[in-house]
Amino acid sequence: MKRIACVGILVADVIVEPVDGYPGHGVLKQVNGITLHNGGNAMTASINLTKMGTPAFIVGKVGDDMFGAYLKSRLEAAGVDTAGLKTDTTTQTSASVLMIDEGGERSFFHCVGTNGTFGIDDIDFDVISKADLVFVTGTYLLDRFDGEETRDFLKKCKEMGKTTFLDVCWDAKGKWGELLDMSMPYIDFLMPSIDEAREIAKRSDPDEIADVFMAKGAKNVVIKMGKTGSYLRLAGEKKGRIFPSVKGVKAVDTTGAGDSFCSGFLAAYARGESPEFCSEFANGTGALCVTATGATTGIRTYEETLEFLGEKKC
C-alpha cells in the first residue's frame, strides 16, 4: 500500500450549533452545543486516511499554544505520523468558529495564524521521501506557501518520483489562477470544488474547465460537484464523466465533506484502484462525513465504507 504525505493547513474548529441568527449586542443566546474539533484540509485528510488504514504523514505548522497542543494530540491519537509537524513559537495556531444551521450548512470566523507563516523551509524532505503520494491541500489559505513556493515544492516532488494531488480553498483575495497556474505542470490530480474550479478556469462547464486546466499542464482533473457527485477527466480523454452522489444520506454537518472526498480518493488510489473506482469510493467517504458533527467524526474504515456503498446500491 502506498503512503501519503498531507501537506497544508491545520485548524482548530470551534463548532456552535444550531445558529439561526446572531444575538444583538450584549444579548445571550443559548445553543445546543459548543464543541472543539480538529479541522483544516491537511489534518482532516491525514486522520481520515489513517482511519481507513492508509499510512499518512502530516506536514504543516501549529502554534505553541492550547489549540496547537490539542491538534497534535488528536493527530497522535489517530496514529498519524507527526514527524513533519512544526511548531511556531511566535504565531497562534490557526482557528475557526463554525456556526452550523439546522440544515447542516456553515458560516465561519477564521484566524489564519500559523498556516499563513508555513513555507517550503518548514518542510522536512526526509518525511516527503518516505511518501509515495503527496497531497497539497489548503491552497489560497497558505499565505506564504501559495504561488512560487507551492510550485517549487511540487516540482521537487515530481523530481523525487512522487504522484502529486492538489486541492484548494476559496480564495477570498481573488487571485485564483495567478497563484495556481504556475504549479499546474507539476500536478497529477487537481481536485477543486466546482465553485472553485469555475473561478480558477473562468469557465462554467466541467469539460471546458478541464480543458483549461489540462492546457496549463494538469494531468488529470477531479471536480467535487456537491449534491451532483463528482467529475473525473483523465489524461488523454476528450470528455469527462460524472459519478453520481450517494443518495439517501441525511446531512448533519457538512464540515470537511470536500476533504473527506479527497481522502477517499487517495485511500483507494493508495490501494492501486482505478481513478474511476476512486471517484465512487470518494463519493462514499464524502457522504459518510456529513452524517456526524466534525470534519473526521463520520469517517469509517475502508472496509466499512465499501459496505456502506454496497448497501446504498442495493
**Beta-sheet pairing, 163-168 with 95-100:** unpaired
Does 118 fall in a domain? yes
Residues 70, 200: Cα–Cα separation, whole Å? 34
Bridge partners (DSSP) of residue 99 are 16, 107
% of the chain exceeding 70 in pLDDT: 98
State percent of the chain over pLDDT 90: 81
Distances (CA, A) of 66 to 59, 92, 112: 19, 9, 16
Q: What angle do CA 304, 306, 309 make, to 5 degrees?
A: 110
Contacts of 272 (CB under 8 A, 6+ apart): 2
Task: Say if residues 233 and 221 touch (Cβ distance below 8 Å).
Answer: yes
C-alpha cell at 169: 480553498
Q: What is the pTM of this model?
A: 0.92
| Model confidence pLDDT, tens digit, residues 38-68 | 889 999 999 999 999 999 999 999 999 999 9
Range of the domain at 119: 4-20+34-313
Between 56 and 110, the higher pLDDT residue: 56
**CB-side neighbour CA atoms (13 Å) of 78:** 31
> What Cα–Cα distance (Å) separates residue 263 from each residue in 13, 19, 113?
19, 28, 24
In a domain, 196, yes or no: yes
Least confident of 84-93, 210-219, 240-249: 240-249
Q: How does pLDDT run across 121-175, given as a tens digit for each residue? A: 999 999 999 999 999 999 999 999 999 999 999 999 999 999 999 999 999 899 9
What cell does 138 get?
A: 489548503
CB burial of 135-150 (b: ≥16 within 10 Å; e: otherwise) equals: bbbbbbbbeebbbebb
Predicted confidence band of residue 291 (pLDDT cuts 50, 70, 90): confident
Total domain count, the chain: 1
The verdict on residue 249 lying in a domain is: yes
Report which of 95, 78, 106 is spatially closest to residue 19, judged by C-alpha positions.
106
What region, left, alpha or beta, does residue 123 occupy, with left being phi > 0 and alpha being psi -120 to 50 degrees? Answer: beta
The verdict on residue 98 lying in a domain is: yes
Q: What is the CATH number of the domain that holds 43?
A: 3.40.1190.20
* Structural domain includes residue 26: no
Give a yes or no: residue 219 inside a domain: yes
The span from the CA of 234 to the CA of 241, in Å, is 9
| Residues with Cβ within 8 Å of residue 157, at least 6 apart in sequence | 128, 134, 164, 186
In a domain, 262, yes or no: yes
Q: What's the pLDDT tens digit per position in 183-205?
A: 999 999 999 999 999 999 999 99
